[in-house]
Amino acid sequence: MLQNSIIDPNLLLQGYANGVFPMADNAKSNEVYWVEPKLRGIIPLNGFHVSRSLKRVIKKADYTVTFDSQFNEVVSACADRNETWINSSIYESYQKLFKIGNAHSVEIIKNKKLIGGVYGVTLGSAFFGESMFSKESNGSKIALKHLVDHLNICGFTLFDAQFQNSHLQTLGCIEITQKKYLKLLKGALVNKVTF
């Protein structure tokens, strides 16, 4: 358990390399704790599912996709909900990770407004998805689709979604044991790729 302060970037990266990640109970919590799920959600990079309706939205392409252009805004939007695990300590800690090049975001912009996005951490050839948001229908799904395409182009081998939920399951997220996850992670950490 860590008290409310900025987590050292090296400690954060060490945590990810060992299969754990930080969370807070809520936005006002003064503590952050390390989480190691027994079952891990991952999105196979060759198994992202795009529904017919999402294909139509993407084909319409009435939006712009950017990478790392509004990282602060994406994290803030992810935290702006009734229930969140992003407290001030986590927010500030990921800003530091972004500054050293180990945290990244995808932004979906429509009519000059941020309508969806996702952010996460990179280490080796692993991408650790942290959170996503939608301000308009399909905003987060569009962001995830472009993120998966980008990760494939860059040579990433592991997309850690942390936990499977019904929303991610419709997009192809599967659950594996932590033991299997750690094996995949070990292989992903050997290869260094650039986001």
Position 116 in a domain: yes
Position 27 in a domain: yes
Residue 1, pLDDT score:
52
State the Cα–Cα distance between residues 27 and 87, nearest whole angstrom: 4
Residue among 158, 159, 112, 165 at smallest CA distance from 135: 112
Position 156 in a domain: yes
Residue 167, pLDDT score:
79
**Domain, as residue range, for 102:** 2-190
CATH of the domain at 102: 3.40.630.70
Position 163 in a domain: yes
Q: What is the pLDDT of residues 132-166, one digit of tens each?
A: 999 988 889 999 999 999 999 999 999 999 998 88
Give me the number of domains the chain comprises. Answer: 1
State the Cα–Cα distance between residues 182 and 138, nearest whole angstrom: 31
- Structure pTM? 0.92
Residue 130, pLDDT score:
94
Position 158 in a domain: yes
Residue 3, pLDDT score:
54
Position 195 in a domain: no
Position 169 in a domain: yes
CB 172 within 8 A of CB 164: no
Residue 2, pLDDT score:
54
Following DSSP, what letter does each residue of 85-145 receive, concatenated? S--HHHHHHHHHHHHTTSEEEEEEEETTEEEEEEEEEEETTEEEEEEEEESSTTHHHHHHH
Residue 110, pLDDT score:
93
State the Cα–Cα distance between residues 131 and 84, nearest whole angstrom: 10
**Which parts of the chain register pLDDT below 70?**
1-4
Position 80 in a domain: yes
